[in-house]
Structure 1
């Protein structure tokens, strides 16, 4: 078996029959997997790959964590005072533009 057909996790376990090309394909589909945009059979295939390929699982975990952090950050709202100041400035700029 060639090095391209085997993956190793940090514990030294090998994951046989996983090629670099397969990993590239699955890594491209991780985003869709995270967003629940794959059909049932594709989800099963991605999950099976993640269960057997620790390097891809680590990349999946990283993508999932980043997605969660971004989602949390986007749900926060600015304080009312800040929002009012921003809106006032936007209106000022709109008036300046229309007066030109």
Structure 2
């Protein structure tokens, strides 16, 4: 994996892309950030492969759990764990 730049000083590296992939999948980014991540995915096969896996996983979970809603406390606990894991992975 690598860094890709259209202009000097403007790049989105693999760690940032993978860290923010769910924001991208959920449409929770600014248009500028969305463009940067999309550009990186177009240029980086390993990140695109991980994005495709995450996209498939998200679709599978949605299909499997569509009729059930998790309690608020459980959702909060899951999000806290995901954040902790991401922080540990970035260290």
* Fold equivalence (TM over 0.5): yes
What pairs with 1:20-59 in structure 2 (closer than 5 Å)? 22-59=13-50
Cα root mean square deviation, aligned:
2.0
1:62 alignment counterpart? 53
- CA shift for structure 1 position 66: 0.1
Aligned twin of 1:4: none
What is the number of equivalent residue pairs in this alignment? 61
Gaps of 5+ in 2: 5-11, 69-91
Higher RCO, 1 vs 2 (CA within 8 Å, ≥6 residues apart) = 2
Q: Could you tell me how far apart the structure 1 residues matched to 2:60 and 2:32 are?
A: 28
The C-alpha deviation readout for 1:39-81, integer Å capped at 9, x for no partner, is: 100000000000000000000000000000000001247xxxx
- The alpha-carbon distance between structure 1 residues 17 and 23, as it changes in their structure 2 partners (threshold 3 A), is closer
